[in-house]
Structure 1
Amino acid sequence: MQAGAVDYVRKDNLARLIPVVERELRAGQERRERQQAEAAQRESQARKSAMLDSALDCIVTIDHEGKVFEWNPAAEKTFGYRRGEVIGKELAALVIPPALRERHRQGLARYLSTGQSSILGKRMEMSALRADGTEFPVELSITQVPTEGLPLFTGFIRDITERRQAEETLHATEARLQAMLDNSPNVVFMKDTEGRYVEINRQFEKVFRINRSQIVGKTDDEVFPREQAAAFRANDALVLQAGIPMEFEEAALHADGRHTSIVSKFPLRDANGKIYALCGIATDITERRRLAEQLRQFQKMESIGQLAAGVAHDFNNILAVIQGHTDMVLGGMVAGNDAEESLKQVAAAAKRAANLTRQLLAFSRKQEMQPQDMDLNGVIKDMTRMLER
């Protein structure tokens, strides 16, 4: 170029030199732009490779024939195929279980012919196949790669075996817990901090004749009589305020009448220690109390039999006093003030007999005894006076 330029200058032909210079400048600019584009492409490819290589999920790209175009290291690890083993081969024959392969091929063909697909851009779960023939669950989402010409499709695949196992373990644990609750003879319930029912067991449904769907989300005020609901709320508030387990005796109306239960209530806390719910376990003690009362009454009657001899002795003493004083009065052995004193002793003995009879009746009946203070010295003095005569 330099030689030609000098020639043009020497010949004073500057008009012909200008187009040559412009052409060379354009060529240089094009070379620089091409070099920049190549550098940008290399950089983009490097970023793409870094993303593919570092991705934890499998990234698999296929062409319009369903053949593998891209296969990242995560796919190698998950499926057990090296990249060189799968490039150019049909994806369906490699990683899709036999029962699903034809469906995959039909779906690809339908999209190529109609442009319609029910899975593009959506997340779904399905079974996949490893190189050793074992099936495992995956989460899959597919997108079309924007390119000129024939379409490419990229799938993002995640092995969810551990998640499925964790879910199954959780479901099994929940099922065992629910079975324990439903087979418990006690009423079990859980409420949130606002007093709304979150969970109840089968015994709760049976006792109060209400289905779970009818009570979950409702409060005691919406389910039980006002007085009963107020008592429940008050005890719940004590537990939530104190933040510790507490035990209460609560009465509730059942289908067959009023029942009394011992209710253990305790707060439930989240991982941060914050109370998020209250749980209660109620043990019906109505029948136990009835049986205890029957046993107490039976023991009373048994005690009466055991005390019969002692009671007979007490009555004999009283009757001896009455008979003795009566004989003295009727026989003329006492008169005047002495006769009056004898009659007083007879009256006192009759009163003691009446008190003894009343005590026996109270003991044998289902009524509470009413203990009273007694002056033992006075009782002994009166008895001594009675016996001396």
Structure 2
Amino acid sequence: AGAKMFGYNKKDMIGLTIADRVPEEFAKKLPKVISKKEATQGFFVPRISKKKDGTIFPIEIATKIINIRGKPRLITCIRDITKRKKAEKKLKKARKMFASLFSSSPEAALYHDKEGRIININPRFTELFGYTPEEMIGKKIDEGMIYPANKIKEGKILTQKAFNGFSDYETIRKKKDGT
């Protein structure tokens, strides 16, 4: 599997050094990158590597020196992380887009965890209700914002939401000033 990942057959891989499988500019830095501590205690880090055809791709290396019959031997596991890096890039882009939409929404909005604790509020929420993010983050939405007369109705709606997923409903909330 390792030979295939690098574009070699098993026979061609024999005798290749780490320096043969990384970009030239990185190969020059290799002795400094792998410290004595890493060499003896092992390390697990992302790096870049080079295929037989010269293609550069991201890898994750886990390595450790162990003694086999009294001789030190380097055990190395290498994983191609190209797909993971692409997924991370897409996720980062999606998060950035969500953050932009969330913060620029003309509607007061918040998001919360499974327990109903607020993770964030948008600027329109602060403008409408008077609460700052510092005052709301970590609290539950029903802590002080639901009128006592509406607690039973709200409880039923939230129970329905828990069983059915997303629910759309109108509600009356209290502002920070009590109105």
Same fold by TM-score greater than 0.5: yes
Rg larger in structure: 1
**Structure number with higher relative contact order (C-alpha < 8 Å, ≥ 6 residues apart):** 2
Within 5 A, what are the aligned runs for 1:1-389? 74-92=1-19, 94-106=20-32, 111=36, 116-117=37-38, 120-148=41-69, 150-192=71-113, 194-207=115-128, 208-211=130-133, 213-220=134-141, 224=144, 228=146, 230=148, 234-243=152-161, 245-253=167-175, 258=179
| Aligned residue type for 1:90 | T
1:249 to partner: Cα distance: 4.0
Runs (4+) of structure 1 exceeding 6 A deviation are none
Unaligned runs of 5+ in 2: none
Q: Aligned in 2, Cα 1:95/1:80: closer, same or farther, shift over 3 Å?
A: same
Unaligned runs of 5+ in 1: 1-73, 259-389
Q: Aligned in 2, Cα 1:161/1:89: closer, same or farther, shift over 3 Å?
A: closer
CA distance in 1 between counterparts of 2:50 and 2:81 reads: 13
Cα displacement string for residues 137-175 of structure 1 (whole angstroms, at most 9, x for unaligned residues): 111100113224652212100111111111221222222
1:131 to partner: Cα distance: 1.6
Name whichever structure is richer in helix by fraction: 1
* Alignment check: 8 A CA contact 1:119 1:142 kept: no
Would you say how many aligned residue pairs link Structure 1 and Structure 2?
174
CA distance in 2 between counterparts of 1:180 and 1:134 reads: 37
* Alignment check: 8 A CA contact 2:147 2:174 kept: no
* Alignment check: 8 A CA contact 1:220 1:232 kept: no
TM-score (norm 2): 0.77
Q: Aligned in 2, Cα 1:230/1:199: closer, same or farther, shift over 3 Å?
A: farther
Q: Aligned in 2, Cα 1:184/1:106: closer, same or farther, shift over 3 Å?
A: closer
Q: How large is the RMSD of aligned CA atoms in angstroms?
A: 3.0
